Structure 1
Amino acid sequence: MNNTAQIKKNYKLIKFQKLVIVSILIGFLSAFLGLVLKKATEHYEELFFHKATINPIFFIIFPVFGLSIIYFLRQYLFKRKENKGIKEIFESTNSKSKNLPSYKISSHFINGLLTVVFGGSTGIEVSTVVASATIGSVAQRKENVFRQYKTELICAGVAAGVTALFGSPIAGILFAIEVISRKVTRAFVISNVIAVSIAFGLITILKEEPLFAVTITTWHIKAIPYFILLGILAGLNSVYLTRCVLFFKLQFSKINTHYYKILLGSAVLSISLYIFPQLYGEGYHSIKTIFGNTSQIPLTITLALTFIGLLVLKPIVTSITLASGGDGGVFAPSLFIGAFLGLLVASVLNTFFNSGVIPINFMIIGMAAVLSASIHAPFTAIFLVCGLTNDYTLFLPILVVCLISKYTAKTIYPFTVYSFTPSILK
């Protein structure tokens, strides 16, 4: 009896040690992948965007070239399989037999990079999430002892990837809980805490700066009613984004010849980029520009129409980018929409109602609110946006507005692009 108990104890200890080791490896590899993809995308997106602004003909050439290259890579290198985004992770975690094949790491890495740098109006976040989830999935299959930890190790990869992109380990873990796992086990806590710690340690050693360098001084109680208004508008905008993605994916799925999808998608994308260059790629360059000029931008009719045009077109061009073969998701578009929505609301309030609100606060809160409503993950959105700015001054209003936006969106349309399946009747 004592020998049996000792054997069980030793086995548990060995299993624990292996879980720690594999979590360290997953954390490092996922974070490294995320950082390399982030840096490569930032560099080449800036380079290609600069070329296009000098010679606008590239706004026409880049999208059709990028989508064509992605199509041929899928046909001849990546087994002719479409990338389904985060739904691929759900299919794996909900099934004992389905796994994320190892080629998904390179597939999402390369296709995510090509989509954004050639003007696709989406972001690399979902590409990173699926690629890093695949790292966890591959690691889980290497040892029989990890068979029962499939979801936990996939989530560890996801959490580490999100941490590397946004500089917030809390956001990484919360995203894994709110979107992927929806349950917390002892193994989940161990593997995910270790993975995000390694990821955060890596970005700290490399001295990664926050994506948006902003200074937030304070916020005023009198702005609370306006924050509530922003939350409701953010919920409405997120539903519009979700419905656009689902609608255009359905319509493009009816086109049998894939190159017709590429030509149609490229035409819409090129025209949109030519009129509104701010829509190019992730759009973070546009957000950084307006962050630096919020106090110097007087609201004119032309500027208001520009903001409205961006809010109307961004969901459409994002949807068409994805429907015509691009790789990405709704993370970056949600942040983009939220920033411009927040600035528009603040500018209208200050110009026509003399409200005296702080535009930069509305931009940051708007980013979190639209993301919260788009993925139905308010706590992920809170810590993710606070991590992007490395500032928690607005934590309380962001919390309130994220909850308002999520439940506004959920009341109007209960699905996200992740939870909707074609079998559900609209």
Structure 2
Amino acid sequence: ITIGSGGSCGKECPTAYIGTGLGAIAARFLQFLRLDKFLGVKLGRRDFRLLAMCGASAGLAAIFRAPVGGALFVCEVLYEHGMEAKSILPALFSATISYLVFSYFYGFEALFHMETVWQFGLYNLIFAVTAGIASSLVGWFYVRFFYKIFHIARASKLPDWIKPGIGGLLHGCLVAMIGMQLWGLGYGAMQEAIEGYYGIWFLLLLCFGKIIGTAFTVASGGAGGVLAPSLYIGCMMGGFLGLAFESFFPVGNPMGLYAVIGMAALFSAVGKVPFSLPILLMEATRNFSVILPVFVGSAVGYALSGPFKIYESQEPYPAGKVSGGFNALGETEADLLAPFPVSAAMAKELDVIEEDTSVSGILAKFKESDHIFFPVRGKQGHYKGSIALDQMKSLFLEEDIDKFVIAGDVADIGHPSVTSDLSLGEVLPFFDQDGIRYLPVVDEENMLVGLLDRQEVLRLLKRQILNRTAGMDYVGKSSWKKDLDDL
């Protein structure tokens, strides 16, 4: 409804969601038919995650006609710094098949058409650096405005179903004031900008108009992606800068070159994908000769972007890569813990709360024990969430709560758990999150098998540091260093 009615959003996010869901369904289907055991494979959480990523990359490859870029994008967009390197080949295989099947029915032509650029000079690289600097500023405003509208919509006491309608109405008013170029996905307007149909000030108006329209549409609760609108914003920004650049340095480059550099620089700044997005755009335009200035613009935009990002759920680093921490030998804390399995530090004798325990039983459990955290175990032994002492404070005010509330109702199902096949280096980043001291450990079938205490992991880490550094000063991430010094 949001996309079909002309909302300022992209179809890549719903398509990726569908692909992710199909990947997860495929994993469940293999388990249901026991084909995993027949094939002699063991599907764990990593495999479910991998199949979901393969589905997402397949969806993006079809939308943008970019199998390599789509696969790399899905592996890179999960993190602010780094990439899910082990998933690249499976994602690429899935994306290639999706691209071939989709193109068989809809054609193999490029998503955007632009004049081929064969020669480059110093001016092109100067423009790429300029576009990167500008994208960091425009991207900062884009993200700030987007989340300003998001927080206003979230704080509003209006019913959730009416908020997207109001956002859509505001976007419609914007389209009426500026023009139909802001309506819908915007691929047509982007193509016209690439071909040089718009004037310099109209390009600037479309750039900021799309920022406002996207915030009204998506941040208010509309269902859609932000990749396509972000490329639109970057395209118009690049076109504006290109016309301004040509007025000072008339080198005669086609407008498409400036537009594509702007796309790459802007979304690399807000989406943190400086490696995959230039490749995706090269495939989407079928113009691989512009890869050098596009990569330069993308790298500069990413480097100057700072901490702001359009995807709030992005993790800082892949599992096992801890930001900034290293010892005197140049190893990260995660590297030092990588040889140790989770079982080396987890407590196997579990003190748990059963799923059907009443609130009074939970309170009695906390009174009888020194623990401030308990995993919740289901009737079949599965992990059902966790209960911390802080959660119980709000229950004291409720009357007769024992009659209708059990542990399964109040358990925090969002508290992370880890599988027993991981290394301590891979789970260390979980403890970097605020408030995480305990991690329940589960097996491949989500059966509760142990509990990992942050303090035990840090004790093991401290022993490793002392063994490796042999008295040399430890230089690491400040939060870890303080915790290790306190042990």
Q: Same fold (TM over 0.5)?
A: yes
- The 1:254–1:339 alpha-carbon spacing in structure 2 relative to 1, beyond 3 Å, is same
Distance in 1 (alpha carbons) for counterparts of 2:17 and 2:215: 19
Equivalent of residue 222 in structure 1, options 122, 127, 132: 122
Answering whether residue 99 of structure 2 is matched by residue 200 of structure 1, we say: yes
Q: Which residue of 2 aligns with 1:280?
A: 183
* Superposition deviation, residue 273 in structure 1: 0.5
Distance in 2 (alpha carbons) for counterparts of 1:190 and 1:123: 26
1:224-252, Cα deviation, whole Å (9 max, x unpaired): 21221011112222222222221111110
Q: Is the 8 A contact 1:159 1:195 kept in 2?
A: yes
Distance in 2 (alpha carbons) for counterparts of 1:204 and 1:230: 33
TM-score by length of 2: 0.57
1:11-45, Cα deviation, whole Å (9 max, x unpaired): xxxxxxxxxxxxxxxxxxxxxxxxxxxxxxxxxxx
Distance in 2 (alpha carbons) for counterparts of 1:195 and 1:323: 31
Equivalent of residue 310 in structure 2, options 416, 420, 424: 416
Amino acid at match of 1:163: A
Q: Which residue of 2 aligns with 1:115?
A: 2
Q: Which residue of 2 aligns with 1:210?
A: 110
Equivalent of residue 13 in structure 2, options 126, 134, 144: 126
Alignment of 1:284-295 (within 5 A): 284-292=187-195, 294=196
TM-score by length of 1: 0.65
Identical residues among aligned pairs (%): 25
Q: Which of the pair is proportionally richer in helix?
A: 1
Amino acid at match of 2:309: F
Distance in 1 (alpha carbons) for counterparts of 2:260 and 2:131: 11
Equivalent of residue 166 in structure 2, options 247, 250, 264: 264
Equivalent of residue 43 in structure 2, options 146, 153, 170: 146
Q: Which residue of 1 aligns with 2:293?
A: 397
Distance in 2 (alpha carbons) for counterparts of 1:352 and 1:392: 27
Distance in 2 (alpha carbons) for counterparts of 1:172 and 1:263: 31
* Superposition deviation, residue 173 in structure 1: 1.8
Answering whether residue 287 of structure 2 is matched by residue 385 of structure 1, we say: no
Amino acid at match of 2:113: A
Q: Is the 8 A contact 2:200 2:239 kept in 1?
A: no
1:96-138, Cα deviation, whole Å (9 max, x unpaired): xxxxxxxxxxxxxxxxxx2122110111011111111111112
1:327-362, Cα deviation, whole Å (9 max, x unpaired): 112211111111111111111122355454442210
Q: Which residue of 2 aligns with 1:87?
A: none
Distance in 2 (alpha carbons) for counterparts of 1:210 and 1:372: 21
- The 1:198–1:189 alpha-carbon spacing in structure 2 relative to 1, beyond 3 Å, is same
Amino acid at match of 1:221: G
| Local SS of the residue matching 1:417 | coil
Answering whether residue 216 of structure 2 is matched by residue 320 of structure 1, we say: yes
* Superposition deviation, residue 215 in structure 1: 2.0
Unaligned ranges ≥5, structure 2: 32-41, 316-432, 435-487
Q: Which residue of 1 aligns with 2:202?
A: 306
Aligned length: 299
Q: Which residue of 2 aligns with 1:173?
A: 71
Greater relative contact order structure (CA < 8 Å, 6+ sep): 1
Unaligned ranges ≥5, structure 1: 1-113, 298-302
* Superposition deviation, residue 143 in structure 1: 3.2
* Superposition deviation, residue 200 in structure 1: 2.7
Equivalent of residue 242 in structure 1, options 131, 135, 143: 143
Looking at CA atoms only, which structure, 1 or 2, has the larger radius of gyration?
A: 2
Distance in 2 (alpha carbons) for counterparts of 1:336 and 1:383: 17
Distance in 2 (alpha carbons) for counterparts of 1:331 and 1:219: 29
Q: Which of the pair is proportionally richer in strand?
A: 2
Amino acid at match of 1:192: A
Amino acid at match of 1:286: A
| Local SS of the residue matching 1:203 | helix
Q: Is the 8 A contact 1:278 1:286 kept in 2?
A: yes
* Superposition deviation, residue 209 in structure 1: 1.6
| Local SS of the residue matching 1:209 | coil
Amino acid at match of 2:138: N
Alignment of 1:15-26 (within 5 A): none
| Local SS of the residue matching 1:218 | coil
Alignment of 1:323-334 (within 5 A): 323-334=219-230
Q: Which residue of 2 aligns with 1:159?
A: 57
| Local SS of the residue matching 2:44 | helix
Distance in 1 (alpha carbons) for counterparts of 2:58 and 2:96: 8
The CA RMSD measured in Å over matched residues stands at: 2.3
| Local SS of the residue matching 1:253 | helix
Q: Which residue of 2 aligns with 1:109?
A: none
Distance in 2 (alpha carbons) for counterparts of 1:355 and 1:193: 38
- The 1:268–1:204 alpha-carbon spacing in structure 2 relative to 1, beyond 3 Å, is closer
| Local SS of the residue matching 1:115 | coil
Distance in 2 (alpha carbons) for counterparts of 1:398 and 1:374: 16
* Superposition deviation, residue 178 in structure 1: 0.7
Amino acid at match of 1:416: I
Amino acid at match of 1:291: I
| Local SS of the residue matching 1:133 | helix
* Superposition deviation, residue 396 in structure 1: 0.9
Q: Is the 8 A contact 1:386 1:392 kept in 2?
A: yes
Once the two structures are overlaid, the 10-residue window that deviates more, 389-398 or 114-123, is: 114-123
